[in-house]
Amino acid sequence: MESFLKEVKLHIKESVPDHCYRMWIEPVALSAHDAERIVLSAPNDFYIKRLKENYLGYFEEGFLRLGQKVRIEFKVNNKKISSGSKRAQKTTGVMPAISTAVNIPPEFHPQLPGMTPAFHSGRMLKKNFTFDDFVVGDNSSFAYSASLCLAQGNLNGTGVLFLLGKTGLGKSHLSQAVGHHMMAHDRTQRVLYVTAEDFTNEMIYSLRNNSIDQFKEKYRIKCDVLILEDVHFLTGKTATQKELAMTLDYLIDADKKIIFSGNERPDEIPKLNESLKSRLNMGIVTEIKTPDFGTRVKILNKKSKVIQCLLPTPVTEYIAQEARDDVRQLESALISVVTRGRLMNRKIDVELARSVLEKMTGTRKRITIDLIKKLVCEAFDVSEQELVSKSRKHRIVKPRQVAIFLSKQYTDQPIKAIGASFKRYHATAIYSVNEVEKEMKQKGQRYEQIKYLSDKLESGSF
């Protein structure tokens, strides 16, 4: 029966993409069999779930072609793991800023038996941010191919990739897909996924606590794949830039893989030293653009299957036509329409979709920087003259940062133009956006203020 399984897997290999075969089919092994059934083993429950959902039919067809009409079952490989490895699989470090052990459910990562998790510190990868789950369109085909080639070890002689694009277009998805792919195919790979802010915060902590040697060892020696998000956050951070440049030298010299992401090209990030800038430009820089109508439809169809609610074609096309800014807006529109229909026990049709989306997308087209200035001035009781003045008073600086942040979120103006509108340099505008994003993560007063103002903008109450 082992030879039968080998034949079936070869048949499947001809029918599915190579990365899908290597990730999901190759680890499957024969566990038991009799006249009525074949039991196949897989590394964990996560694998089995994906096999049943996506590949069971391939196995059934393959055995049937060989004259074996049997029931196929899956079970978790019961290979014993050392106690040390078991402990390692239950914990992982989470940033920011400093590693702390936390329990995570096993379904988060498709780890192979005996595998020591790569995330000794850093953020966890999202379980659905894989190559299988990424919808490829004309806007992202090269970025997808480059990411997949890097994950498979072949990217035109370089191990460095820079993913460029606006927020919500799929940079994080592709960069994390590289991490998922490499961990699933090489048990020894140590993948570290962090943001530029995480890297900065941890470096500062290490300096303050006399643990900088451990910090350097982790990033320079104990890292095989570095995924660094939001590189534009490094603007003006001289010490962090210097340390990162030296870290990259170590990784590049050792032929390690590095994936950067950001919303500005390396050459356009202000206050970035030349040493770091040259290293960011060493590999392939590829841009993910806004998806076109056809790609938006494909994304909606895929997401609809995930939430188990297949929409009528006219509804899907209407949402794709209206929610055109980015993938996050597209997903939000889909969830909003489905949720409204279920809660109100209404048929999901174009009329329902229109009633939901008219406020979400219609008002956004009328939002301008001047409108945002006016709204922020009224909310914080400052004048527009003060907002664009040179004042560094706290009561002026914070509203100004909020206004710049909202302008970045709700208008199509480039960050340089937004800065000019507030009589600020490009770097200052980026700094303002980064500061508000940091405060938003704390879910405190700034978060509530932004939420209040965002609700007013999106509802048209201005």
- The pLDDT of residue 105 is 36
Q: What is the pLDDT of residues 184-233, one digit of tens each?
A: 887 778 889 988 888 888 899 888 888 899 899 989 888 889 999 998 88
CA distance 146 to 273: 27
Give Cα separations from 273 to 47, 229, 238, 258, 266 (angstroms). 44, 18, 8, 19, 10
Asked whether the beta carbons of 127 and 107 are under 8 A apart, the reply is: yes
Residue spans of the domains in the chain: they are 2-76, 87-287, 293-362, 365-459
Architecture of domain 87-287: 3-Layer(aba) Sandwich (3.40)
CB 365 within 8 A of CB 322: no
270, 416, 420, 457 from 388: Cα distances, Å:
21, 15, 10, 21
Q: Report residues of the chain scoring pLDDT below 70.
A: 17-19, 66-68, 78-122, 359-366, 412, 459-462
Task: Name the phi and psi angles at 372, rounded to 5.
Answer: -65, -40
CB of 140 closer than 8 Å to CB of 170: yes
Pairing of strands 225-229, 91-93: unpaired
pLDDT tens figures, 117-126: 333 446 788 8
Alpha-helix residue ranges (DSSP H) falling in 258-326: 274-280, 293-306, 313-322
The correct CATH number of 365-459 out of 3.40.50.410, 1.10.3720.10, 1.10.1750.10, 3.40.50.300 is 1.10.1750.10
Q: Would you state the pLDDT for residue 19?
A: 65
Kindly report, residue by residue over 349-369, the tens digit of the pLDDT.
Answer: 888 888 888 766 554 556 789
Q: What is the assigned CATH class of domain 2-76? A: alpha beta
Place of tokens 């694009």: 165
- For residue 374, what pLDDT is reported? 92
Which 8-state DSSP code applies to residue 411?
-
Has this prediction a pTM greater than 0.85? Answer: no
Q: What is the pLDDT of residues 155-197, one digit of tens each?
A: 777 889 999 988 889 999 999 999 989 888 877 788 899 888 8
Beta strands of 184-243 (E only): which ranges? 191-195, 225-229
Give the model's pLDDT for residue 258. 92
DSSP secondary structure of 337-366:
HHHHHHHTT----HHHHHHHHHHHHTTGGG
Beta strands 37-42; 29-33: pairing state:
antiparallel
Whether 263 and 138 have beta carbons less than 8 Å apart is answered as no
- Residue 425 CB-half CA count within 13 A: 9
- CATH code of domain 293-362: 1.10.8.60
